[in-house]
A and B are shown apart, each in its own frame.
Chain A
Amino acid sequence: MAAADIVDSRSALSRAWNNKEARSVILQILTVALLFGFFFYIIRNAVINLETIGKGYSFTFLSAPASYDINQTLIDYNSRDTHFRAAIVGILNTLLVAVSGIILATIVGFVLGVLRLSKNWLMSRIVYCYIELVRNVPVLLHILLIHGIVVNTLPVPRQSPSFFSESVFLSNRGLYVPSPLPEPLFWATMIAFFGGIVGTVLYKRRARKLQEETGRILPVFRVGLGLIIGLPFVVFLVTGMPMNWSYPELKGFNFVGGVAMKPEFLALWLALSLYTSAFIAEIVRAGILAVSYGQTEAAHALGLRTNRTLQLVIIPQALRVIVPPLTSQYLNLTKNSSLAIAIGYMDIVATIGGISLNQTGREMESMTIVLLIYLSFSLVISLFMNWYNKRIKLVER
């Protein structure tokens, strides 16, 4: 009786194993169990080891004074502020380089992508060579190269050339430009600007409605331009140009006043943008090529002019191919910005994940913060791009 049971259960197991579906379930359960086991093991290990060396896991160090200075801060900061504030400074610096990088990379990438398809043989070859060269060299080398060029070839402040009647200076300490100091009345210009944006949106809605009802097309672009740029400009003039400028001036060792773009930011921004733009160019090319030429012919046959064809037929379809890989390029750029550490740009990795970590010895806590920050940056970018992708998706009726 017992022997029969064993044979039975054995055959039940082997039957389950031979069944394709059951087997895949078993394998998946095993994999998940192993994964959990692994994470349990390393986390437990970390906890035990932290305890052995007498280090707890606590974030109280964040409220202690950081005691170090940071050369580029978007908010007020001095060495008496806390590690928490230093972390915020770092986060903002990371955001600054990521956002400006994404903007420049997108613009350059789209231009290069279109030029790559140019009918001009020389142009398309040159762009082709450029793209292949840039994307096959590690981004770290681009960063070091540009930083090296900026620091070693540009003159020191005392010999730096000036442009626009001594208001812009270029030296190996950075690019110094005048910074605006708005006076109280400048609010009127700001209000006009935002009013212009709202007006343009309303006007665009009306134009669309009018077009759907009567077929008449209103000049949305020109009116929008007038409202968003022209109107604030007129208000600015009428209120008597309520704006002062702080000009950079050579005082002692460095320029004082104005606003500076440091070599570290410049190198990181340009390197990340140019590197990523090469990939974006390929994505754009693929997107445009993915739209069959028949679409253009059909649009022309309907009597649409070339720019309308591009705007209404080709680009919307190309975007559907472009956006998903573009998202991953944006993520890459953001994450690559952590290479800032190579040239001393004070991003999140350099502040909380670097100096704070080192001065306080709180490795686990600091790295946790850095991890969470990058994770949330990536998730936000993904969410936004997925939302955008959904919006431009082909609407099937």
Chain B
Amino acid sequence: MNKKTLLGAGAALLLATGVANAATLDDVKAKGQLSCIVTTGLVGFAFTDENGRWNGFDVDFCRATAAAVLGDAEKVNFVPTTGKTRFTALNAGEGDILYRNTTITMSRDADLKLTFLGVNYYDGQGFMVNKNLGVTSAKELNGASVCIQTGTTTELNLADFFRVNNMNYEPVPIETNEEARTNYLAGRCDVYTTDASGLAATRATFDDPKNHVILPEIISKEPLGPAVRQGDDAWGDITRWVLYALLAAEEYGVTQANVDELAAKATGNPDIDRMLGTEGDFGAMVGLSKDWAKNAIKAVGNYGEIFDRNIGPDTAIGLERGLNALWTEGGLMYAPPIR
């Protein structure tokens, strides 16, 4: 009984400390570091390597944001969360920004009071099964046990998919990707479902990745993107334009290697010059220094470099650019002009 009262008090206190503070930028500057909410571990996206250093696609965006805001990509405090705890963590002020394979949905935007900044990965929910089950389509999964991360959109899509197709399944709810991996490999479930990128990332960690297939059906749209707390538009602007700058950098051919050279003096290409601060002062518009974009690109490279290094075709995860190619290459990635 006493435990429960304490828990209640704790919950109330949690909300009490989560005061919607208007000036996140000032907080971050005062703390001298950016708190970035990430997953507890998903190879390729956010995971700690053997040296205990955070690595991955989402992690690089965190570092880029820290570089733009604080001028130092290393000033990031990573806050690992599960699918269920991420929004509470963000709204309670445990982090300044959420970079965690999070699908943009209307209810999260409006009801959970988040502000989404844009898409950093266009994804869709898929299914992975062991090859020796002989399954070639998700429509053949009637009666299967399905491992599923609770508290995610995949859970809702899964229920809809099986209901619409008149099929039964046994949901095996799990909390983290690591748990899903263990249960799936032990045969507790026949199928693991999550975003296709997550499946590929998880499969890359298996001893025998070739024995597992990702079924062709993609049953949902999962635009993954970063989010911040609603109510701090200035902070939303900053973080949104960091993401856009990384996309624009790829479009304009600005890379980690040549950014210093290009930022040294005006190049004559107004798009590049505005972004790198040699023409006008776009950093000042959002309360950052002139070289905000240069710092971000210098730290982790442009969008294409981040993609290729962490999850691209040459990595163990081996994801094609697909929808995530630039708009100039037939993809969906499109940054509004910096002007």
Residue from the list A52, A354, A378, A379 in contact with B84, Cβ < 8 A: A354
- CB-CB < 8 A to B18: which residues of A? 49
> Is B163 an interface residue, CB under 8 A from the partner?
yes
Q: A151 vs B3: C-alpha distance in the bound complex, in angstroms?
A: 32
Whether B143 and A253, one on each chain, are in contact in the complex, defined by CB atoms closer than 8 angstroms, is yes
> Is B323 an interface residue, CB under 8 A from the partner?
no
Whether A359 and B156, one on each chain, are in contact in the complex, defined by CB atoms closer than 8 angstroms, is yes
Q: Beta-carbon contacts of B1-43 to A below 8 Å, as 1s and 0s?
A: 1011001110111011011100000000000000000000000
**Minimum distance in angstroms from A347 CB to a CB of chain B:** 11
Q: A378 vs B3: C-alpha distance in the bound complex, in angstroms?
A: 11
Residue from the list A68, A70, A253 in contact with B156, Cβ < 8 A: A68
Q: A315 vs B268: C-alpha distance in the bound complex, in angstroms?
A: 96
Q: A229 vs B88: C-alpha distance in the bound complex, in angstroms?
A: 54
Whether A344 and B91, one on each chain, are in contact in the complex, defined by CB atoms closer than 8 angstroms, is no
Q: A67 vs B220: C-alpha distance in the bound complex, in angstroms?
A: 15
Interface residues of B toward A: which range? Answer: 35 or more
Whether B173 and A344, one on each chain, are in contact in the complex, defined by CB atoms closer than 8 angstroms, is yes
Q: Beta-carbon contacts of B224-237 to A below 8 Å, as 1s and 0s?
A: 00000111000000
Q: A388 vs B91: C-alpha distance in the bound complex, in angstroms?
A: 47
Decide: A151 near B159, CB < 8 A? Known: A252-B144, A354-B151: no
Residue from the list B3, B111, B170, B183 in contact with A361, Cβ < 8 A: B111
Number of chain A residues close to chain B: CB under 8 A: 53
> Is B318 an interface residue, CB under 8 A from the partner?
no
> Is B265 an interface residue, CB under 8 A from the partner?
no
> Is A54 an interface residue, CB under 8 A from the partner?
yes
Whether A363 and B15, one on each chain, are in contact in the complex, defined by CB atoms closer than 8 angstroms, is yes
Q: A354 vs B12: C-alpha distance in the bound complex, in angstroms?
A: 17
Whether A68 and B16, one on each chain, are in contact in the complex, defined by CB atoms closer than 8 angstroms, is no
> Is A360 an interface residue, CB under 8 A from the partner?
yes
Return the chain B residue nearest A156 by Cβ: B187
Return the chain A residue nearest B143 by Cβ: A252
- CB-CB < 8 A to A69: which residues of B? 158-159, 162, 169, 171
- CB-CB < 8 A to B163: which residues of A? 78-80
Whether B172 and A54, one on each chain, are in contact in the complex, defined by CB atoms closer than 8 angstroms, is no
Decide: A375 near B4, CB < 8 A? Known: A254-B143, A360-B111, A363-B11: yes
CB within 8 Å of B: which A317-346 residues: 331, 335, 341-342, 344, 346
**Minimum distance in angstroms from A371 CB to a CB of chain B:** 5
Additional pairs, 16, CB under 8 Å, beyond known A67-B156, A254-B170: A42-B9, A67-B159, A68-B155, A69-B158, A69-B159, A253-B145, A254-B190, A263-B188, A331-B1, A341-B175, A344-B172, A350-B150, A359-B107, A361-B108, A368-B8, A371-B8
A-B contact list, 12 entries, CB within 8 Å: A45-B16, A71-B170, A71-B172, A80-B163, A253-B141, A254-B145, A263-B188, A335-B3, A342-B175, A355-B150, A359-B107, A359-B155
List the interface of chain A (C-beta within 8 A of B).
Answer: 39, 42-43, 45-46, 49-50, 52-55, 67-71, 78-80, 151-152, 156, 172-173, 251-254, 256, 263, 331, 335, 341-342, 344, 346, 350, 354-355, 357-361, 363-364, 367-368, 371, 374-375, 378-379
